[in-house]
């Protein structure tokens, strides 16, 4: 196993622990946010984006390259119709199920096995997009 994988794995553990700690692996909590009963998930999203923003914007000014070498990748996305249409379709699915990709993975870790149905749906949806809409 390459050393890169070890560190990605450790980071993933923090990610999944945080998702479960924040309740996002429970579709009931996600739906209570989307039904505007509990706005706590905004704090979770804001907190994670803020910590990551500090890292992404400051660390490359201090370190020339990542600790394992290579380059600090820039995440670039161009705004197109597909960005927004895709976000609309994602939003409908999120509102129906309370599932998003990361929280579905974390759901498996809390023993929430019905999320497997959602994950199967996500694979199928990703396949149909890549097969018929590219």
Q: Are 99 and 93 in contact (CB under 8 A)?
A: yes
Looking only at residues 94 through 133 of this chain, which bind other proteins when binding is defined by CB under 8 A? Answer: 94-115, 117-131, 133
Looking only at residues 28 through 87 of this chain, which bind other proteins when binding is defined by CB under 8 A? Answer: 28-29, 31-32, 34-41, 43-57, 59, 63, 65-68, 70-79, 82-87
Q: Are 99 and 35 in contact (CB under 8 A)?
A: no
The minimum distance between CB 62 and other proteins, in angstroms, equals 10
The CB density around residue 115, as the number of other CB atoms within 10 Å, is: 23
The minimum distance between CB 81 and other proteins, in angstroms, equals 10
Taking alpha carbons only, the member of 129, 128, 125, 118 closest to residue 30 is 118
The minimum distance between CB 132 and other proteins, in angstroms, equals 10
Looking only at residues 9 through 28 of this chain, which bind other proteins when binding is defined by CB under 8 A? Answer: 9-28
The minimum distance between CB 41 and other proteins, in angstroms, equals 7
How far apart, in whole angstroms, are the C-alpha atoms of residue 99 and residue 107? Answer: 9
């Amino acid at each position: 196993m390459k050393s890169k994988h070890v560190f990605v794995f450790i980071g993933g553990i923090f990610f999944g622990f945080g998702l479960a700690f924040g309740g996002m692996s429970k579709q009931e909590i996600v739906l209570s946010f989307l039904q505007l009963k509990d706005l706590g998930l905004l704090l979770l999203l804001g907190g994670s984006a803020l910590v990551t923003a500090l890292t992404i914007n400051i660390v490359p000014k201090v370190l020339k390259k990542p600790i394992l070498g290579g380059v600090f990748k820039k995440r670039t996305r161009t705004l197109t119709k597909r960005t927004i249409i895709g976000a609309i379709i994602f939003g409908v699915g999120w509102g129906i199920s309370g599932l998003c990709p990361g929280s579905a993975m974390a759901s498996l870790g809390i023993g929430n096995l019905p999320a497997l149905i959602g994950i199967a749906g996500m694979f199928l949806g990703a396949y149909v997009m890549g097969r018929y809409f590219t």
